[in-house]
Structure 1
C-alpha cells in the first residue's frame, strides 16, 4: 500500500555558473531593465545567474548581477512549505496553500526551476552553442542524479537503523513504503539506479532530471523554428501526457507510474523558462486581471479545503468529478490556471521590482532569511526531507498529540533549513580562497632541521 502523502510535494530550486560575458540583450532574453516587469514567481528563479543563479542550476558566482528580491523570497517560502508538507503527522500541513487550492509548492519549485535554467543554461545555448549547452545540461543532470541517490540512501539507512534498534513501536521503513526495496534489493537496487524504481517521497528530483533532458530538444526547436515552435512542442507534449499516452514506470512489482509525469510537468517548467528567456511577454499590471486572478483563487477553495468537502457531500462529488483536470500526476489544466493566478497576485503584492521586499527592521530581517533559504534551494530541499524524517522519529518518542510538540518540531525544522542555507552559502563563497590581509612580514628563517613544508604556504 502507498503511504499517505502530503499534496504540497517538494519543491526546488538551483544555481550553476552562468555565462558571464557582458553584452547587449537579444530579442530572446529579458533585459535587466525589464526584469521588474516579469511575474513575481517568475523572478523567483533568477537564482540561476552568476550571482542570481538558482541553486538547483548549480553553483553561483558572486558579484555579477544584482539579485531581484522576489526571486529568492518566493523560492524560500516554497522550501519552508515543502518541509511542513513532508514532516510526518504534521498538523501544520492542514494549513499549507495546497489545502486551499489546486496548485501547491510543487508548482513553485518547477516553475522557478524553469526560470533558473533559462538563466544558467539558456545563455550557454545562445552564446556558446547547442553542443556546449547540451553538455552543460548533462553535467547538471549528473549532479542532481547523485543528489537523488544520496538522499535516498541517507533516509533509507536512517529509517532502517531506527527500526533495527527495536526501541520504537512504529515501523518507519513501512511508513515510506520501503519494505519492498529491502525485501528484494537484487532487483530493486538496479531499478532504483536506473530510475525505474522511484519511491514516493523521492520523486521530485527524478522528474527534474527528466525535464532537464528536454531542454536541449526545446532549444533545438527554438533554433529551427523560433520560440513559437518550441512552445508548441511543449504544449503538444503536455497534451500527450494528459491523454495518458505516456507514463514512466515507478516500481518493478506493479504498474504504478511516476507520481510526477515529467512529460506533463514540463509545461510548468518551460513556462518559467519562456518568461525568463523573453519568449513570453509578461502580463500587464491590470486591476481587471487582478480581480480575475483573485476570483480564480477564491473559487477553488471549496473544492480543496477538507473541512468544506467533509461538510458538503455535493462539493466532494464535484471535486472527484473534476479530478482529471486537477490531477497532480499529469499536471491538470486547472492546477496550471490556479498557479498562474497565484503567481500574478504574488507579483502585484511584491510591488514594482519587489519594492515591498526591500524593507528594514523585523520585516527586512525576515525577508533576508527567507531569501537566503531560497538561494540555496537544492541543499535546503535535500536537508528538509532528511530533517523531516529525523524530527518525526524524535517527536514520536517525546510528544505527538499536543500543540507544543507540533510547534517545536516545526520550529526546529525551520532552524535546520536556515542553518543549512547559511552554512552552504558560506562554503560557496570559498572563504579559504580569499587573499589574506597584508601583514608586516616578520623575518624568519626555518631551521635546517625543520621540514621544508613548514615554510610553504598552505
Structure 2
C-alpha cells in the first residue's frame, strides 16, 4: 500500500500529467453509491443527495465523461478517428461482459438469499420477480439490455453513452457544434418524453438520451487539443465572481428544494399547485434541468476551489479514494455485490456497532479492489513499453498522459 501511495505522490499525476481531482472525487462518488444502495444505512443521511439537488450518479457520469475526453481525445489526436472508435468499441464490449457477469452474480446472490429466508420481498423490491417467473426470457432481455433490475441500470447507461461517443468523436474538435447537438437532443428528449424501451414497462431508469448532455459536457472539459505537437491546456470555464455567485445561489436553491421535499409536506400542501407540482416532479430519469444545473454549478465551484496541483490529493488520506477512482469498473461491480451483503447485515442488526462495521468493511473492501488493480497496473508497466495504448481504452480508469504521448 505504501509503494502504491508513493507511486501516486511521485508519479506523473503529481507533475501535472494526471488530474488526480477526477480520480479522488470519482472514488468518493463510488463510496457514496455503495452507501446509498444499502437500505437502513444511517451514513446515507450524509451523502451528496441530502444536501444537493444531485447525487453521486451525476458526479460519476460527469467525471466519466471528463476521463473519456482525456483518453479517447488523445487517441483521436494520435491515431485518428478509426483507431479511437475501435478502442471505444472494444471498451464497450468489456463493459457489456462486466454487466452480464454482474447481472448473473447479483441475481444468484439475491435469489439465494430470498430462498434461504423464504421471502420474495427481495425479488419484488429489486425487480427480479419476473426472472423467477420467466427466467429464459428475462435472461434474453438482460442480454439485450432491456431488463435492468434495481442497481443494475448504471452500466447499461455507460455502454450507451460510450456508443454515442463513437460518432461524437468526429465533433470533439468542434466543441460548440457538439454541445449544440447534445443540448438539442436533450431538450427534444425531455419535450417529447423519449426513452429507450424497458422489457418490464416504461423506459430506462437512467435515460441515456438525456444523460448524454452531462457526459458530453465532461468530454469537452477533458479534451485538450494538441498545439505544436504537444498536448494543449485542458479547457476550463474561467473564474468570475458573477458565475461563482450564480453557482452558489443555484446550489442553495437546490438544497432548499431537497429540504422541502424531505420535510416540508405541510408547506407543499399549502403552496400554489403549479409550484408544488414543479418541486415534486424533479425527475432523475430524464436528468431534470434543475439536477443538471446543480451538478454543473457544483463542478464549477469545486473545480476552482481545488487546484489541479493541490497537495492533499497526494496525501495518505486521499490515496484510497484516488485508487478507487482509478479502477472504477471493478470497484463499482464490487460495490453492487457488497451493498446487498450490507443490507442483509443491517436487517439482522441495525445498531451502531453493526452500522460501523458495515460501512468500514464496505469502504475497506472497495479500497482493496483499488489496491489490487493498482498493483496489477504497476506489474503491467514493468513488463510493457511506456507508450502502450491499452490503458487508453478505459474511461472509468483514464490513462496517464504525458505532454506528447499517453502511457
- Match of 1:430, SS? helix
Asked if residue 293 in structure 1 is aligned to residue 241 in structure 2, the reply is: no
Asked if residue 157 in structure 1 is aligned to residue 114 in structure 2, the reply is: no
Counterpart Cα distance in 1 of 2:124 and 2:271: 33
Quote the offset at 1:268 in angstroms: 0.3
Quote the offset at 1:390 in angstroms: 1.4
| Among candidates 249, 252, 260, match of residue 197 of structure 2 | 249
Counterpart Cα distance in 2 of 1:221 and 1:372: 32
Quote the offset at 1:434 in angstroms: 5.4
Quote the offset at 1:266 in angstroms: 0.5
**Pair 1:89–1:358, CA change in 2 (3 A):** closer
Quote the offset at 1:170 in angstroms: 7.0
| Among candidates 282, 286, 289, match of residue 236 of structure 2 | 282
| Among candidates 265, 275, 288, match of residue 211 of structure 2 | 265
Counterpart Cα distance in 2 of 1:434 and 1:277: 29
| Among candidates 110, 116, 121, match of residue 61 of structure 2 | 110
Quote the offset at 1:222 in angstroms: 4.8
Contact 2:223–2:235 (CA under 8 A) maintained in structure 1: no
Asked if residue 119 in structure 1 is aligned to residue 76 in structure 2, the reply is: no
| Correspondences of 1:433-452 after superposition (within 5 Å) | none
Q: How many residues align?
A: 364
CA distances 1:322-348 after superposition (whole Å, capped 9, x unpaired): 455x32111111111111111122123
**Pair 1:358–1:274, CA change in 2 (3 A):** closer
Contact 1:309–1:315 (CA under 8 A) maintained in structure 2: no
Quote the offset at 1:316 in angstroms: 10
**Pair 1:316–1:297, CA change in 2 (3 A):** farther
**Pair 1:319–1:384, CA change in 2 (3 A):** farther
Asked if residue 321 in structure 1 is aligned to residue 278 in structure 2, the reply is: yes
Quote the offset at 1:274 in angstroms: 0.6
Quote the offset at 1:150 in angstroms: 0.9
Quote the offset at 1:179 in angstroms: 1.0
Quote the offset at 1:175 in angstroms: 3.1
The residue number in structure 1 matching 2:308 is 353
- Match of 1:66, SS? coil
| Among candidates 131, 142, 153, match of residue 82 of structure 2 | 131
**Pair 1:425–1:281, CA change in 2 (3 A):** closer
- Match of 2:264, SS? helix
Counterpart Cα distance in 1 of 2:100 and 2:76: 28
The residue number in structure 2 matching 1:455 is none
The residue number in structure 1 matching 2:146 is 196
The residue number in structure 2 matching 1:44 is none
Bigger RCO of structures 1 and 2 (CA < 8 A, at least 6 apart): 2
Counterpart Cα distance in 2 of 1:170 and 1:163: 6
Contact 2:24–2:313 (CA under 8 A) maintained in structure 1: no
Alignment TM-score, normalising by the size of structure 2: 0.82
The residue number in structure 2 matching 1:427 is 376
The residue number in structure 1 matching 2:290 is 334
Alignment TM-score, normalising by the size of structure 1: 0.73
The residue number in structure 2 matching 1:75 is 26
Contact 1:310–1:316 (CA under 8 A) maintained in structure 2: no
CA distances 1:283-324 after superposition (whole Å, capped 9, x unpaired): 222333322222211122121125432453346963532455
**Pair 1:185–1:413, CA change in 2 (3 A):** same
The residue number in structure 2 matching 1:410 is 359
The residue number in structure 2 matching 1:148 is 99
| Structure 1 unaligned regions, length at least 5 | 1-46, 53-62, 436-458
The residue number in structure 1 matching 2:346 is 395
Quote the offset at 1:127 in angstroms: 2.6
The residue number in structure 2 matching 1:38 is none
CA distances 1:246-297 after superposition (whole Å, capped 9, x unpaired): 211122x43x100111111010000010111248942222333322222211
| Among candidates 126, 139, 155, match of residue 176 of structure 1 | 126
**Pair 1:229–1:433, CA change in 2 (3 A):** closer
- Match of 2:39, SS? coil
RMSD: 2.7
Counterpart Cα distance in 1 of 2:288 and 2:129: 31
The residue number in structure 1 matching 2:387 is none
- Match of 1:240, SS? helix
